[in-house]
Structure 1
């Protein structure tokens, strides 16, 4: 099945006599009719496989072990975090599958037709940030490949804006590669994911087999005991789970962007179950086992796959391995970052932007984030994750409370595209949702501002989700409409 390009599909009007506000509607935001949804569970599973396999997730195990967890405890954290993510995404995906609408349209039901821009812009900012960071991971791989094939490549070492000229050249190639994919149509990505997701698993399995041979077993990292006990273990475990959720907190919000293409609720549930928690539980031990072998070979752990390829010093391995990293990064970026960011930008300017124009805008904005500076400070990325999960937790809580409790899974879809419908709120602003979002977000990130409340950082996503969900129901229940 191909990945359907919204603007290239035949659109059926919701009703022949319906009129929509052009500031809320265009072909890319329109509902996808059930007979035009082509995805089955295999598509959903392979897309998640392609997204879970990326350098940031690979290196997340390093962050957990640096906190003092044993390898098995890392797997326990991953299992708990991804189980929670699966349940959240399974529920939040239902509206997309039932009505064929993206996140930026669905969120209007609670935040109002104008107020929806607040969570949409927040989500768009996060998507572009993650696109930028992931694309820079591919930049490192391209740089390693070119430096291996052509040694003179590394001679272009003059620094410009904190990065060498040869790295700038690699970055330009990666950005052009993303642009080439988007220019040829997003509809091809579905077929691409069917190959990319399983291929990365196969390559990872080969790397794991090599590591088991080098380490004559699981290696030293699996024999390293935990240094955390008692209450310190509990708080660190909670923080580890929250950090893992933070990596995907953005997608827990905009999962309807994908589920709108799926044929049935059964397909989206099975596909996510296979592609999300199951794949993560396979991929994480692969990362730990492979890194464990580097301790024996080089005397210290090497968690960055590109650094490992360079350390091995085998040209064929560097080129082939770098190509797989680029493939995996392209896979996660197009579906998890560029696509949601495009919808969010279109929602802001539906009269001006379409899917292709917004994709090029994402590429331009991605450079402005200067991702090479983030990679030099790994702790900064985890700090951003805490803040992001704290702010997007409230959005998730409001969405779940609104759709399942307040609306009982019933939406008047046509009114989501009009300012004068039941979802307008107060002059376009859903006051209960906005109040709940602000207060829930403040509670979630308060630990970053007030040292006495720092313990809340360990459960920021849960605090934001719970506080905002309950508060929203309390404020919106008296004025509820279906």
Structure 2
């Protein structure tokens, strides 16, 4: 039977040290990053995480939790606990792809952040051109969005396109700029909140409005929702760590760093919402709705600009690049990083994010919904790396369709069974969240702490199965890293620079000049 082909649509695939003569399985963007192409230093990763933390979703978490009846102390505690948990899962995500599920989740988040970015553009345009906010609406009310918001969404979507075609090594400059500009702007908003209300408002005096079992279930549900926000990063950290020039051991800094920075941002959200409630008579959990009350047009513009930059940075770092990596792994002959990011941007229109973000309740429900799938996935990745294989993988074999990681007909049945065990208890609640008319009774309770339940249940089953029926062919005596493959196969790892070449030449170039010194630091 003839094969349907479109050779002109294929990406350029130079010789690969990992394809083994069959370029169906990889391309240049999917291969491990060679030494000379790794530009990310410690400062780059700090800027990356600051960039990820400073976004409207983090700001909204605590306010969204308060809106379901919990107090501000509980909100802060939930955020801190959630990111403390996530910080342990992130280092275990080593050079793995989530395939279609990962791509779908990343595209979903891309649409949400694009919607947040569109809201910032609407406020900025309203500050420059006040009549923009009174544009006549030509979109049916049932769609959940009006004309000016749709225009703003499109403009922010368009602004992102040039960044989607940048190489990840160049994106670190965007994160560095954001990690300076946005924190300064948001700390200024925090100062306004306390100065304008002489202490931050009455929200800090209020306690939880619910008690007993309702309190416990609301706490667990909110915790799962917050974990769901960054559960994706616990399984796709390799998207950027592959560009790192430093040892992975420094990633232990995530444990104290993530809870502190994310909790601080959520505190800013609480203080600002509280100040807005006292000054304007309404509790705004959406920061753009709060900023819109400000009388100063210049303050509205610059505050909205900081949120626009925040949305842009996190959309690239956490969403579009992750989707592109997963799509590249699925279709390496036709998709590379650039094409994958552009495809993510075009698919965003089909997911109607303005309906997801209609209220705090629906936002939290959305977070819980996909977190129940990511908990089991994170458990498999973490325990497979640290416990089963004891940090020993053969990088070359990962690219071989019939190698030692083929398992049984290409499927690791232990992982599949463990995943199902972690997900199935959450299905009644998951179904009820999609269609509240379906009564599942107490079956919805596990869903309120779905990520934790899935992570623990899957980890126990996966480790147990892997110990009882060990995949012996994959249990190698030592790790085989990508640098070793490049060296053995004689692949040039650099370009001729000065009197040296490869790594030696790169080091020679770095020793001289301000640019080389800056690269070493970053």
The answer to whether residue 391 in structure 2 is matched with residue 409 in structure 1 is: yes
Secondary structure in 2 aligned to 1:301?
coil
Deviations 1:208-236 (A, max 9, x none): 11111112113211111223444443333
Q: d(CA) in 2 for partners of 1:314 and 1:134?
A: 26
Q: d(CA) in 1 for partners of 2:51 and 2:256?
A: 12
Kindly tell me the number of residue pairs found equivalent between the two proteins: 450
Which of 220, 223, 231 matches 1:249?
231
Cα contact 2:234–2:378 (8 A) shared by 1: yes
Alignment of 1:79-478 (within 5 A): 79-90=80-91, 92-93=92-93, 95=94, 101=95, 103-104=96-97, 119-160=98-139, 162=143, 163-262=145-244, 263-270=246-253, 272-273=254-255, 275-449=257-431, 450-477=440-467, 478=469
Q: d(CA) in 1 for partners of 2:151 and 2:282?
A: 30
Deviation, 1:470, is: 1.9
Q: d(CA) in 1 for partners of 2:75 and 2:21?
A: 50
The answer to whether residue 44 in structure 2 is matched with residue 54 in structure 1 is: no
Larger radius of gyration: 2
Provide TM-score, normalisation by structure 1. Answer: 0.88
Secondary structure in 2 aligned to 1:312?
coil
The answer to whether residue 65 in structure 2 is matched with residue 67 in structure 1 is: no
Distance 1:58 1:276, change over 3 A: same
Cα contact 1:390–1:444 (8 A) shared by 2: yes
Q: d(CA) in 2 for partners of 1:267 and 1:198?
A: 22
Distance 1:338 1:405, change over 3 A: same
* Structure with the higher helix share, 1 or 2: 1
Distance 1:220 1:174, change over 3 A: same
Q: d(CA) in 2 for partners of 1:20 and 1:221?
A: 64
Q: d(CA) in 1 for partners of 2:107 and 2:130?
A: 33
55-64 or 470-479: bigger deviation? 470-479
Give ranges in structure 1 of 5+ residues lacking alignment: 1-6, 96-100, 105-118
Distance 1:431 1:22, change over 3 A: farther
Distance 1:155 1:216, change over 3 A: closer
User: Root-mean-square deviation (CA), in Å?
Assistant: 2.3
Deviations 1:89-139 (A, max 9, x none): 13x14x3xxxxx3x21xxxxxxxxxxxxxx421111111001001111111
1:13 alignment partner in structure 2: 17
134-143 or 183-192: bigger deviation? 183-192
Cα contact 2:320–2:341 (8 A) shared by 1: yes
Cα contact 2:40–2:169 (8 A) shared by 1: no
Provide TM-score, normalisation by structure 2. Answer: 0.81
Deviations 1:179-209 (A, max 9, x none): 0112344432101111202322111111111
Deviations 1:17-64 (A, max 9, x none): x71642321111111235543323322222111111222221111221
Deviation, 1:283, is: 0.9
Deviations 1:265-293 (A, max 9, x none): 233332x3465222112111111111111
Distance 1:176 1:294, change over 3 A: same
Q: Which has the higher contact order (CA 8 A, sep 6+)?
A: 1
Distance 1:217 1:378, change over 3 A: closer
The answer to whether residue 33 in structure 2 is matched with residue 29 in structure 1 is: no
Cα contact 2:50–2:261 (8 A) shared by 1: yes
Secondary structure in 2 aligned to 1:245?
helix
Distance 1:169 1:229, change over 3 A: closer
Cα contact 1:40–1:267 (8 A) shared by 2: no
Secondary structure in 2 aligned to 1:359?
helix
Distance 1:291 1:227, change over 3 A: same
